[in-house]
């Protein structure tokens, strides 16, 4: 006769439950070579191509293209790699893992918070690796190290913003494959912005969208921070806060109905 399990004294609180959800998502990320290694390979490959293939043909005024490209690229790298977040969220739902979590006596917000912590951490990892490759491809700090760290800090905040958005995309998608497809929307925001080319080089009808969608001030704020300025930083942080506070409750509500 096997000994009996005694029922736990109390259900776990938000912190413990969130960290457990985080731990599992991180294990999945680091134990799945396709997620862990391919993300890096992909981000370095595109950086290489923009820097050395398209770069020569893009006019950025007095600024050398690598100095223009790297801050924008690092700030928006999650828009490229974040599809994986949406896929993971959608697959958890399709494969019944979300149901398991929802049937457990844990706060609903812990499921979302756990994912946000895990994915923001892996995003931080890819942001830092990509930044390192930026330096390897010829980028150098123009201002102080503190300015550089401030810029990196902004990029890490964006990592959280984009994480929340991709979680919502994953929850809206009927399958992992659909989530992958729906994540392509992020490309529109990444490309029609000041990330790769100055907005002034785009056709007039496209410029209003490029100028006023959140990614442009976010990228511009990183460039400002690198130069020791605060131009666009407040606007970028306002967009970040707005997106986080709008999308997190949506994610929590969607999980409730998943």
Partner 1 sequence: MEAPLLDAAGLTVRFGKVTALDGLSLVAPSGEVLALLGPNGAGKTTFVRTVATLIAPTSGALRVRGNDVARSPLAVRRDIGLAGQYAAVEPVMTGRENLVMTARLFGHPEKAAQRAASIVIEQLSLQEVADRRCRTYSGGQRRRLDLGASLVGAPRLLVLDEPTTGLDPAGRREVWDAVRNLAASGTDVLLTTHYLDEADELADRVVVIDHGKAIASGTLGELKASIGRDVIEITLGEPSRLEAVGQILLHVTSNPPRLDHSGRRAIAPTTDGTSQLAATIQRLNEAAIAVDEIGLRRPTLDEVFLTLTDDHIDLPAPAAASQDGSAR
Torsion angle of C-alpha atoms 207, 210, 213, 216, degrees rounded to 10: -130
Tell whether residue 90 is a contact of partner 1 (CB under 8 A): no
Tell whether residue 7 is a contact of partner 1 (CB under 8 A): yes
Alpha-carbon gap, residue 159 to 225, rounded angstroms: 17
Least distance to partner 1, CB of residue 109, Å: 13
Least distance to partner 1, CB of residue 234, Å: 40
Tell whether residue 97 is a contact of partner 1 (CB under 8 A): yes
DSSP readout, 57-121? G---TTS-HHHHHHHHHHHHHHHHHTHHHHHHHHHHHHTTHHHHHHHSSS-HHHHHHHHHHHHHH
x/- letters, 13..52, toward partner 1 (CB under 8 A): ---xx--xx-xx--xx--xx--------------------
Q: Which is nearer to partner 1, 244 or 253 (CB)?
A: 253
Chain position carrying tokens 């410029």? 207
Torsion angle of C-alpha atoms 246, 250, 251, 255, degrees rounded to 10: 170
Number of Cβ within 10 Å of residue 206's Cβ equals 11
**Contacts (CB under 8 A) with partner 1, residues 145-184:** none
CB distance 39 to 80 below 8 Å: no
CA dist list (Å): 198 to 62, 94, 146, 225: 12, 41, 26, 18
Q: Which is nearer to partner 1, 22 or 126 (CB)?
A: 22
Name which position in 44, 85, 101, 197 contacts partner 1 (CB under 8 A).
101
Which one of 92-100, 173-181, 185-193, 230-238 is the stretch in contact with partner 1 (CB under 8 A)? 92-100
Name which position in 77, 106, 179, 243 contacts partner 1 (CB under 8 A).
106
Tell whether residue 8 is a contact of partner 1 (CB under 8 A): yes
**Contacts (CB under 8 A) with partner 1, residues 107-146:** none
Tell whether residue 95 is a contact of partner 1 (CB under 8 A): yes
Alpha-carbon gap, residue 218 to 122, rounded angstroms: 20
Q: Which is nearer to partner 1, 172 or 258 (CB)?
A: 258
Site size for partner 1, by CB under 8 A? 33
**Within its chain, how far is the Cα of 37 from the centroid?**
17
Which one of 70-78, 100-108, 193-201, 241-249 is the stretch in contact with partner 1 (CB under 8 A)? 100-108
Name which position in 3, 56, 61, 204 contacts partner 1 (CB under 8 A).
3
10 exposure class (CB count in 10 Å sphere: 0-12, 13-18, 19+): exposed
Residues making contact with partner 1 (CB under 8 A): 2-12, 16-17, 20-21, 23-24, 27-28, 31-32, 95-97, 99-106, 258
């Amino acid at each position: 006769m096997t000994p009996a399990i005694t029922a736990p004294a109390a259900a776990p609180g938000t912190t413990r439950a969130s960290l457990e959800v985080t731990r599992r998502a991180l294990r999945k990320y680091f134990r799945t070579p396709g997620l862990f290694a391919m993300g890096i390979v992909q981000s370095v490959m595109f950086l290489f191509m923009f820097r050395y293939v398209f770069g020569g043909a893009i006019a950025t005024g007095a600024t050398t293209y690598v100095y223009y490209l790297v801050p924008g690229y690092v700030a928006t790298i999650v828009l490229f790699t974040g599809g994986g977040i949406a896929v993971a969220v959608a697959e958890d739902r399709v494969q019944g893992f979300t149901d398991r979590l929802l049937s457990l006596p844990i706060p609903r917000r812990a499921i979302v918070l756990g994912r946000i912590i895990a994915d923001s951490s892996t995003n931080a990892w890819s942001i830092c690796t990509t930044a390192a490759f930026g330096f390897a491809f010829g980028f150098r700090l123009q201002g102080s190290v503190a300015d550089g760290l401030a810029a990196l800090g902004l990029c890490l905040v964006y990592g959280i913003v984009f994480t929340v958005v991709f979680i919502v995309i994953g929850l809206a998608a009927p399958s992992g494959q659909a989530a992958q497809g729906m994540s392509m929307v992020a490309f529109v925001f990444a490309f029609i912005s000041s990330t790769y080319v100055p907005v002034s080089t785009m056709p007039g009808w496209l410029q209003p969208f490029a100028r006023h969608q959140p990614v442009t001030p976010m990228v511009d704020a990183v460039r400002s921070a690198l130069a020791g300025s605060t131009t666009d930083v407040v606007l970028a942080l306002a967009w970040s806060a707005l997106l986080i506070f709008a999308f997190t409750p949506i994610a929590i509500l969607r999980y409730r109905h998943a």
